[in-house]
Structures are given as structure tokens and as C-alpha cells.
Structure 1
Amino acid sequence: MKKILIPAILAVTAQPAFASTKNVFSGEFYSLHNTDFIVLLAFLLFVGVLVYLKVPGKVGEMLDNRADTIKSELEEARALREEAQSLLASYERKQKEVQEQADRIVADAKAEAEAAAEQAKADIATSVARRLASAEEQINAAQASAVKEVRDSAINVAVKAAREVIAKQMTAAEANKLIDDSIKTVDAKLH
């Protein structure tokens, strides 16, 4: 680096001196009254002090350190980017899995709801059939009860009518004879 830096500095510092209107070879240039020469000497002295104090090396070292720092930061940024990409891929995979699981849950819930609806329909149909059977039984029982009541009423009416007919046709002697026969029948059956 020093091999490149020193000639470049000398080339830059020599230009103001050569641009002067005074002749370099005439001896006027090397005079202390010549401001161009004084500026050239001061600049060369300044550059010499910088080279003696190893400022170009330190500047180069600082630049190299900064380049290394930037390089390490770039590598760290690449690593972070790769990590972020892997995290993103992982989250996308997880999101896809969660979406699939949610879809399965929704499908299962729909299937369960449909099954529950079918079961409810079957239960309602069974309940309606049971209620219809119960109603038919009640109707049959009511009908049987009504038939029995009609028979009982008919029997009662017939018995009353028979009693009235027998009472009108029977005399007291026949009634006494009928009572005696009944007592004998009961006596015979009890003994």
C-alpha cells in the first residue's frame, strides 16, 4: 500500500510547483521568497510526518477493520435472512397445517351435525309412531269402554224392562214359589 500511496502523494504535491510561472531551473524556484516552494516544503514535511507516524498504515488498518466489520455484518445479515426465511417457511407450514386441521374440524362438525339431524329425525319419527300407537290404544280403549258402557246400559235397560214385565205378569203366589226355589238352590249349593 505504501508503494502506491507515496508516488500518488508526490504526483499530487508536485503539480502546484510545476504550475508556477517561475522557471524551475533558473534558481528562483528554490528561494525562500517563493511561496510555491514554501508550500511544497510544508506539504512534503506534512506528508513526511504522516508517513513517519505511520498514518497511512493506520488509515489502511482502520479501513481494513471497517471492511472486516462490514463483511461480518453482511454475513450476520445473511445468516439472519436465512434464519428469517426458515422461520417464515416454518410458519407457513404451520399455518397450512392449522388450516388443514381447521378444515377437518369444520368437516367433522358438519358430519356430526348431519348425523345428529338424521338421528333427531329418526327419534322424532319413533316418537310420533309411539304417540300414534298410544293414541290408537287410547282410542281402542275408549271405544271398548264406550261399547262396555253401551252394553251395561243395554243390560240395565233390559233388566229393568224384564223386571217390569215379570212384575206385571207375576202374581204373589208365583213370587213366593220363586223365592222358595231360590232358597233351596242356595241351600243345596252351600251344603
Structure 2
Amino acid sequence: MAEAGATTATVEQPHGGEHEVEPTALGLTPGMWVAAAMLVFLLILVVKKVPAAIVGGLDKQIGAIRQQLDEAKALRAEAEKLRAEYATRIANAEKDAVAMLAHARHEADLIVAKATQDTADVIARREKMAADKIGAAERAAVDELRARAVSAAAAAASQLIATNHGASADKALVDGAIAGLSH
């Protein structure tokens, strides 16, 4: 069963017994052939610059990952900046809300005070108007009573004069009045 150009080798066992003979070709055992094939394969890879291509591809991936990490860092920094800005806005909005509430309370107090003062002024004006109307009504009543009294007195006097005085009495009065003027 030996092929042309093939030789066989014997392998001794550690305890002195013989073991199967391993086939060889061109003086190389199967393990040597596998090693030679691997060596040739690796040489072809080196000649075709496959490791450089693999390293270049890995470098590109590393570069892409670094770029993504840089973008992520930039986005994180921007997000933190926005968060700080919004926290500031919220704090300012809370301060503004407190200030607006205080201002609204102050305005409400002023409005209540003004309404109270206006109400007091209106009440005072109405009381004065009522007092003026009462005074005017009293004066009108007094004037009306005086007018009636004058009218009644004039009517009574004219009746008394008409009954008590005649033409001769009038002549004596006129003569006395003329005499009083000449002096």
C-alpha cells in the first residue's frame, strides 16, 4: 500500500510498544503539510495586503465609533446646557409668578381701598344731597307759609281798611302825610 515516492515512519510508544506508522509525503508528515499550507496561506494574505485591509477597516470603524462618541458627548453637553437653561427659566418663572401674585394682591388691596373710599364719598355726597333737599324743602315750606301769611295779612288789612276807612278818613290821612313831608 505504499505509494510511489511516499515513505513511512514509525512512531515509538513511551512504553516501548510500537504504534501505527504515520504516512508521509515528500518526507513531510500530515502535521507538517498542514503547517506548510498555513504558512503559504499566511504568506498569500501578507502579499495581498489582507492584514492591512483588515487593520484599515478596523481603523475606519474605530474612527466612526470615535466620531459617534464625540457627537454623543456634544449632544450630552448641549442637553445639559438646555437643562440648565430650562432650570433657570423655571426658577425665573417661579420668581415672576411670586412677584405677579404679590403685585396682584397689592392691586387688589388698592382697588378695595379705593372702592371703600369711593363708597364713603358717595354716602357722604348722598347724605349732603339729602340734607340739602331737606333744607330746601324746609325753606320752601317757610317761604310758602310766609307767602300765605302775607297774603292773609294783606287780605285782612284790605278788609279792615275797607270797613273802617271811608273817603273822609282817607283825605285826613293824605293831608297828614303831605303835612309830614313839608316839614
Structure 1 length-normalised TM: 0.70
RMSD over aligned Cα, in angstroms? Answer: 3.2
Aligned to 2:42: 47
- The match for 2:74 among 60, 79, 97 is 79
Unpaired runs of 5+ in structure 2? 1-19
Aligned to 1:70: 65
Residues 131-142 of structure 1 mapped to structure 2, 5 A cutoff: 131-142=126-137
Higher helix share: 1
Higher strand share: 2
Change (3 A) 1:29 1:174: farther
Moved more, 95-104 or 141-150: 95-104
Whether 2:166 is the aligned partner of 1:171: answer yes
Whether 2:40 is the aligned partner of 1:26: answer no
- Following the alignment from structure 1 to structure 2, what is the Cα–Cα distance between the partners of residues 151 and 30? 167
Residues 70-149 of structure 1 mapped to structure 2, 5 A cutoff: 70-149=65-144
TM superposition shift of 1:76: 2.6
Are the equivalent residues in 2 in contact too, given 1:29–1:37 (CA < 8 A)?
A: no
Structure 2 residue matching 1:26: 3-state secondary structure: strand
Percent of residue pairs identical: 33
How many residues align? The count is: 163
Structure 2 length-normalised TM: 0.72
Change (3 A) 1:107 1:24: farther
- Following the alignment from structure 1 to structure 2, what is the Cα–Cα distance between the partners of residues 29 and 174? 196
Aligned to 1:59: 54
TM superposition shift of 1:78: 1.7
Q: Which has the higher contact order (CA 8 A, sep 6+)?
A: 1
- Following the alignment from structure 1 to structure 2, what is the Cα–Cα distance between the partners of residues 49 and 86? 54
TM superposition shift of 1:97: 0.1
- Following the alignment from structure 1 to structure 2, what is the Cα–Cα distance between the partners of residues 29 and 183? 193
Whether 2:154 is the aligned partner of 1:159: answer yes
TM superposition shift of 1:89: 1.1
